Amino acid sequence: MATLKIENLHASVKGREILHGVNLEVKEGETLALLGPNGHGKSTLLACIMGNPAFEVTEGKILFDGVDLTVLTPDKRSLAGIFLAMQYPSEIPGLNSADFLKASMNARREKPLSLFQFYNSLQNAYKDLNIPFEMSNRNLNEGFSGGEKKRNEILQMKLLKPRVAMLDEIDSGLDVDAMQIVSDSINEEQQRGCGFMIISHYARLYSMLHVDKAAIMINGRIVCTGGPELIEKIDKNGYSWIKDEFGISIDKEQDAGLNNVSIGVCATREATK
């Protein structure tokens, strides 16, 4: 059984360290809920695991099945079985959704799918996610509503069958029925053996899933881990108890490393001094 293991991960964006030594583990078939206040590094962690080049890993390891992912390009990480449903899926003008899905599915196979096999899987996936099949003819995410973009991420997950899927605020923008459809898909994939790292700010989605463990990220560190009861505690009491219990201030670090600049000076020159 493969394990995604994050060891002492430090990462920066534009010269500012966001992750200050993250340790986490997700096994195939296991679901981890990742919570934390806004702007404390959750999406940054997922971006680093997937290999987004905007983020620089400066120290630590991201191991999957014993292989260090940090040396692999994002496509190789995807082929290894890692999947990311993004908090803000990008619109890609000019890229037809069906072509994108076909290329992604074929990249994982020695022999390309026949047209019949491909359309069969595609139609079933669109039906399961309750997305009109005509949308497969539109450019990827272009002009999609917020909820359509999120359902489209889950559609990709269903077709690509990852070993560990990371879902970043997949519930934001979903209507009540869509939330049920998406959680059914997540549960199906979990039964297949897929591991999950799921970020959400609300207990609702987690209550529809089988969560094994929860972790809280504050100031770019995992400050607390536990069972699903942690989710309820945060839902009821917010994050202020962390300060009392662990002595950790949850104030967001204010742009450490950047000089204060004001309108009236050359901001770029001042900030890069």
Ligand X SMILES: Nc1ncnc2c1ncn2[C@@H]1O[C@H](COP(=O)(O)OP(=O)(O)OP(=O)(O)O)[C@@H](O)[C@H]1O
Judged by beta carbon, residue 40 or residue 233, the one nearer ligand X is: 40
DSSP letter for 201, please: S
Residue sitting closest to Mg ion (CB): 43
Question: Which of ligand X, Mg ion, none does residue 233 bind (CB under 5 to 8 Å by kind)?
Answer: none
* 31 near Mg ion, judged by CB under 5 A: no
Residues facing 9 on adjacent strands? 22
x/- letters, 54..93, toward ligand X (CB under 6 A): x--------------------------------x------
Residues in contact with 209: Cβ distance below 8 Å, sequence separation at least 6, in sequence order: 31, 183, 186, 187, 190, 196, 198
Choosing from 43, 78, 97, 141, the residue that interacts with ligand X (CB under 6 A) is: 43
Q: How far is the CB of 215 from ligand X (least distance, A)?
A: 12
Q: Quick one: tokens of 23?
A: 């340790």
**Runs of H (alpha helix) within 88-197:** 97-106, 115-128, 146-160, 176-192
Choosing from 2, 40, 43, 102, the residue that interacts with Mg ion (CB under 5 A) is: 43
* 51 near ligand X, judged by CB under 6 A: no
Choosing from 2, 9, 17, 41, the residue that interacts with ligand X (CB under 6 A) is: 41
Span interacting with ligand X, options 32-40, 74-82, 129-137, 222-230, rule CB under 6 A: 32-40
Q: How far is the CB of 171 from ligand X (least distance, A)?
A: 12
Choosing from 38, 240, 254, 268, the residue that interacts with ligand X (CB under 6 A) is: 38
Judged by beta carbon, residue 36 or residue 81, the one nearer ligand X is: 36
Instruction: Say whether 110 sits in a helix, a strand or coil.
Output: coil
Let me know if 171 is exposed, middle or buried by CB neighbors in 10 A (0-12, 13-18, 19+): buried
Q: How many residues bind Mg ion (CB under 5 A)?
A: 3
Q: How far is CA 73 from CA 52, 58, 78, 156, 267, in A?
A: 9, 16, 9, 19, 34
Question: Which of Mg ion, ligand X, none does residue 228 bind (CB under 5 to 8 Å by kind)?
Answer: none
Q: How far is the CB of 43 from Mg ion (least distance, A)?
A: 3
* 167 near ligand X, judged by CB under 6 A: no
Cβ–Cβ under 8 Å, residues 69 and 11: no
Q: How far is the CB of 16 from ligand X (least distance, A)?
A: 7
Span interacting with ligand X, options 33-41, 123-131, 175-183, 229-237, rule CB under 6 A: 33-41
CA–CA distance, 189 with 183 (Å, rounded to integer): 10
CA–CA distance, 89 with 69 (Å, rounded to integer): 22
Residues in contact with 35: Cβ distance below 8 Å, sequence separation at least 6, in sequence order: 42, 199, 200, 201, 214, 215, 216, 217, 230, 231, 234
Q: Which amino acid is at 5?
A: K
Which residues form the interface with ligand X (CB under 6 A)? 13-14, 18, 36, 38-44, 54, 87
